[in-house]
């Protein structure tokens, strides 16, 4: 089980898809699964139900995915803020895609599907999460100025034995 974490714009979905293809594993994205389950876009869940409700649905979806067959799973950038969600990652190989704040904003700026981009204190949230991503990571890869294919090659070369199980 391989799980990708990192801030918005780190490339979790793009890299995750390529990685899954290379490893011959299915790919899943927690935001997509949440939207399917809720029947609404993430933006609307935040607006109508609020962030705590989103985090709780996110935790349920991640628990279900991690309880199933081995996959490459891209998590939403804030999933690891939830303590219960962090505990679910204990047996997975967690790849942290590190991105600088400036590059993250450049990559995702103006995307209205990401409700937190418009919220106050985004820089403080970024700063707070850095330590959490590092704490859950089995391996960390820097993504600034790098191509997804190159990142995948690096990740595959550094995956511990049994990561795909």
Sole window of 85-93, 96-104, 113-121, 130-138 interacting with ligand S3P (rule: CB under 6 A): 113-121
Applying CB under 6 A, among 56, 115, 139, 158 the residue interacting with ligand S3P is 115
Report, in this order, helix, strand and coil percent for the chain, each rounded to 5. 60, 10, 30
71 to 90: interface string for ligand S3P, x by CB under 6 A? -----xxx------------
CB–CB of 71/28 below 8 Å?
Answer: yes
Strands (E), the chain: 2-5, 27-29, 72-74, 93-98, 139-142
Q: Considering only residues 1, 19, 42, 104, which one is a binding residue for ligand S3P as defined by CB under 6 A?
A: 42
| CB of 165 vs ligand S3P, minimal distance in Å | 25
Which is nearest to 126 in space by CA: 101, 94, 98? 101
Please state the closest distance from residue 154 (CB atom) to ligand S3P, in A: 20
| CA–CA separation, 106 and 65 (whole Å) | 30
Judged by CB under 6 A, the residue of 14, 33, 65, 114 near ligand S3P is 114
What residues line the site for ligand S3P (CB under 6 A)? 8, 12, 31, 42, 76-78, 114-116
């Amino acid at each position: 089980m391989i799980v990708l974490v990192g801030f918005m714009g780190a490339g979790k979905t793009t890299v995750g898809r390529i990685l899954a293809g290379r490893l011959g594993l299915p790919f899943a994205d927690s935001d997509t699964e949440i939207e399917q389950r809720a029947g609404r876009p993430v933006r609307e869940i935040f607006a109508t139900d609020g962030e705590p409700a989103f985090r709780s649905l996110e935790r349920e979806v991640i628990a279900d995915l991690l309880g199933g067959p081995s996959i490459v799973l891209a998590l939403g950038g804030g999933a690891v803020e939830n303590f219960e969600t962090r505990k679910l990652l204990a047996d997975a190989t967690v790849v942290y895609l590190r991105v600088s704040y400036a590059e993250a904003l450049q990559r995702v700026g103006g995307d209205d599907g990401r409700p937190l981009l418009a919220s106050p204190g985004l820089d403080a949230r970024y700063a707070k999460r850095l330590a959490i991503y590092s704490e859950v990571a089995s391996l960390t890869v820097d993504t600034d100025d790098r191509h997804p294919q190159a990142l995948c090659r690096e990740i595959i070369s550094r995956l511990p034995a049994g990561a795909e199980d």
